[in-house]
Amino acid sequence: QKEVEQNSGPLSVPEGAIASLNCTYSDRGSQSFFWYRQYSGKSPELIMSIYSNGDKEDGRFTAQLNKASQYVSLLIRDSQPSDSATYLCAVSGYGQNFVFGPGTRLSVLP
Amino acid sequence: DGGITQSPKYLFRKEGQNVTLSCEQNLNHDAMYWYRQDPGQGLRLIYYSQIVNDFQKGDIAEGYSVSREKKESFPLTVTSAQKNPTAFYLCASSIGQLNGYTFGSGTRLTVV
């Protein structure tokens, strides 16, 4: 059974701080890694994708991938109250469906 | 604008009743998926379809059925065999398995 694990949180950070969200996965053959943001009562929204080891930056968001350690993370710089949501990690490999983690609830305190 | 439309937004089901959730996409995506989300939990795959007239069971297919007669449409029927159907149902599509999903806005189903 392929697994994706995340701390459920809540992770609380003050406004303006860096929020660090972590995800580990069990399948070494995984090739694609995604971060989704889900506001309460809404559907998930894709915010980052990463396919190779290293960092990928998009605005205030940075995704980090380490395939050797089977670890992917999302950093949110200058966190805002509007970033308060649940963040879902999703992992996929060729010929495989996505496996979603349970999500980490982030709370940014004004 | 391209996207995925789910309807209805809210649905109430009586005991023993079958209900159908609609999912339509105009993104020209080949793959479509149905997920169930329970409060405080992650997404669980119900059914998926990679191509028209073909679909596969996911992890929790019991009590559900689907069809894929058109590329744009992937309706989900929640049958009376599904004993605990109250949940948030999400339809998604993808241009390929290595690409991210686009989700619809979801249908919240409640048993009354």
* Strand, coil or helix: A83: helix
* Strand, coil or helix: A81: helix
Report pLDDT for B44: 93
**Alpha-carbon distance values, A96 to A32, A58, A71, B22, B55 (Å):** 10, 27, 19, 25, 14
Instruction: Point out the residue among B33, B58, B103 whose CB comes nearest to the CB of A43.
Output: B103
Q: What is the dihedral of CA A63, A30, A34, A76, to 10 degrees?
A: -20
Percent over 90 (pLDDT), chain B: 79
In the predicted model, is pLDDT for residue B40 greater than 80?
Answer: no
Separation in Å, CA of B11 to nearest CA in chain A? 15
Asked if A88 and B42 come within 8 Å (Cβ–Cβ), the reply is: yes
Cα gap B40→B37, rounded to integer Å:
8
Residue A64: CA atoms inside 13 Å, Cβ hemisphere, count?
Answer: 10
pLDDT tens per residue, range B66-75: 999 999 999 9
Report pLDDT for B97: 66
- Which pLDDT band, with edges at 50, 70 and 90, does B99 fall under? confident
Report pLDDT for A92: 87
Task: Find the residue in A nearest to B91 (Cα).
Answer: A43
- CB of A87 within 8 Å of a chain B CB? The answer is no
Separation in Å, CA of B39 to nearest CA in chain A? 10
pLDDT tens per residue, range A16-72: 999 999 999 999 989 999 999 999 999 999 999 999 999 999 999 999 999 999 999
- CB of B33 within 8 Å of a chain A CB? The answer is yes
- Which pLDDT band, with edges at 50, 70 and 90, does B1 fall under? low
